[in-house]
């Protein structure tokens, strides 16, 4: 009986081997790229058929298990990077290289777009000699294309230990679509890539749906995504100059959201010209997102307006507004982001489109 089972197994073994080779589990390979902010480098690769996972992390430096603060201090030698796990039977390394070149400015040796410093430099980290060969060939081809008027400075380096970034950085574009879209739109990346490659490129990664939950990012993130004035107003209770801000004279239809969290705050339908030089509103769009606090810091009692979820300082409330409320929510433009009515659906605020 044992001999019969052994013979049966031996007869089946070639068939099992052929089937495994033909349709078995594919072997995944790694590709590692540094292209500046890893938030922006993740979506283009994740959208490729054959890519199993894209991990945000740090590589190329000296420090073991670095943190985000360590890396951005520019003392570790690490670069913000992404590690791409892919099935070579479904997507080639050449395709990954093509996507990579379409995300970056390869002529910038000082960082990428709004992010400056050595941790934001570009590089290709190869895992074997074949990847090295293909990377070098793609770089030469790009140099010879005449597309750039400066030398290409992207380095091609051997892969070294890769350290996974903090969990809040993983798939940031999915977890925080509003903040991601704001950062990307203001980073200068897409504007540059459209100029170099045109609109029909692999870099187009629109976010079409936002979550109905709003959170305050870490201080490290805030310093990255906010301008100095936005940070001063929202985090340090500052005030921007009257008549010298983005929205005091804005007459477009749309809504205003918290620059930090994206939570909806006011509508253009309730905006009025107060003559003060700051955007003013009769009432909030979402009263539940507004917190009022007594402020005694200016030798008088005022009513400070803050956002509920991000706890951003927004401005002050006065009782000298027009009917029917008699209220004037005097806001700082630096605390707000304006979403035109044409972009409400695209930016994840579709439920407010019916207002207009």
Dump pLDDT digits (tens) for 68-105.
999 999 999 999 999 999 999 999 999 999 999 999 99
Residue showing tokens 């410093």: 117
Q: Which residue has the tokens 């870490």?
A: 218
Given this model, what pLDDT does residue 295 score? 73
- Report the C-alpha gap between 276 and 274 in whole angstroms: 5
List, in sequence order, every residue forming a beta bridge with 85; answer none if it has no partner. 30, 53
CB count within 10 Å of CB 89 equals 10
DSSP 149: S
Mean local confidence (pLDDT), 219-227? 88
Identify whether the C-beta of residue 91 lies closer than 8 Å to the C-beta of residue 51: yes
Which residues share a beta bridge with 32? 83, 125
228-341 to CATH, choices 2.20.25.90, 2.170.150.20, 3.90.1150.10, 3.40.50.300: 2.170.150.20
Rounded Cα–Cα distance for residues 300 and 109 (Å): 52
Give 332-345 as a 3 state SS string: CHHHEEEEEHHHCC
Q: What local confidence, expressed as pLDDT, does residue 298 receive?
A: 59
Q: Which tokens sit at 285?
A: 């769009």
Residues marked active site are found at: 37, 330
Please write the tens of the pLDDT for every residue from 295-322. Answer: 766 566 789 999 999 999 999 999 999 9
- What is the C-alpha to C-alpha distance for residues 324 and 92, in angstroms, rounded to an integer? 64
Residue with the two structure tokens 């199993």: 52
Q: Dmax over Cα atoms in the chain, in whole Å? A: 98
Give, for 95, the enclosing helix (H) or strand (E): helix 93-101
Q: What CATH number should be reported for the domain whose range is 29-197?
A: 3.30.1060.10
- pLDDT exceeds cutoff 60 at 5: no
Say whether pLDDT at 12 is over 90. no
Give the pair of three-digit tokens for residue 204.
Answer: 């187009």
Orientation angle between helical segments 93-101 and 38-46, nearest 10 degrees: 140
pTM, to two decimals: 0.58
The CB density around residue 246, as the number of other CB atoms within 10 Å, is 15
pLDDT at 200: 46
pLDDT band at 111 (very low <50, low <70, confident <90, very high): very high
Q: How confident is the model at residue 179 (pLDDT cuts 50, 70, 90)?
A: confident
What string of DSSP letters covers 180-192? HHHHHHHHSHHHH
First to last CA, the chain: 81
Q: What mean pLDDT is reported for the chain?
A: 87
**Residue 21, pLDDT score:** 40
pLDDT confidence bin for 209, thresholds 50/70/90: very low
Structure tokens at 271: 């905006």
How much of the chain exceeds pLDDT 70, in percent?
87
Domain regions of the chain by residue span: 29-197, 228-341
């Amino acid at each position: 009986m044992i001999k019969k089972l052994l013979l049966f197994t031996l007869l089946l073994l070639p068939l099992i081997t052929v089937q495994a080779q033909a349709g078995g589990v594919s072997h995944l390979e790694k590709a590692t790229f540094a292209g500046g902010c890893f938030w922006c480098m993740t979506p283009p690769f994740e959208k490729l058929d054959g890519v199993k996972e894209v991990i945000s992390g740090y590589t190329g430096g000296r420090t073991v298990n670095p943190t985000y603060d360590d890396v951005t201090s520019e003392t570790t030698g690490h670069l913000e990077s992404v590690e791409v796990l892919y099935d070579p039977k479904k997507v080639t390394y050449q395709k990954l290289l093509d996507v990579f070149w379409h995300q970056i400015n390869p002529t910038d040796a000082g960082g990428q777009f709004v992010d400056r410093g050595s941790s934001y430099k570009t590089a290709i980290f190869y895992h074997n000699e074949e990847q090295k060969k293909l990377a070098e060939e793609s770089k030469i081809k790009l140099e010879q294309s005449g597309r750039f008027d400066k030398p290409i400075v992207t380095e091609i380096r051997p892969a070294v230990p890769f350290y996974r970034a903090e969990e809040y950085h993983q798939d940031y574009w999915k977890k925080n679509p509003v903040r991601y879209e704001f950062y990307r739109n203001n980073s200068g990346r897409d504007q540059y890539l459209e100029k170099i490659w045109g609109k029909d490129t692999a870099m187009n990664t629109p976010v079409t749906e936002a979550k109905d939950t709003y959170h305050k990012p870490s201080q490290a993130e805030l310093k990255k995504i906010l301008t100095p004035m936005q940070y001063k107003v929202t985090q340090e209770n500052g005030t921007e100059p009257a008549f010298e801000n983005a929205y005091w004279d804005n007459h477009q239809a749309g809504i205003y959201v918290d620059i930090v969290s994206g939570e909806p705050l006011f509508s253009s339908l309730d905006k009025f010209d107060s003559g003060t030089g700051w955007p003013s509103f009769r009432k909030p769009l979402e009263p539940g997102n507004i917190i009022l606090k007594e402020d005694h810091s200016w030798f008088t009692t005022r009513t400070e307006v803050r956002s509920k979820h991000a706890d951003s300082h927004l401005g002050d409330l006065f009782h000298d507004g027009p009917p029917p409320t008699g209220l004037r929510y005097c806001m700082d433009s630096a605390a707000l982001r304006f979403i035109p009515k044409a972009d409400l659906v695209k930016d994840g605020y579709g439920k407010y489109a019916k207002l207009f």
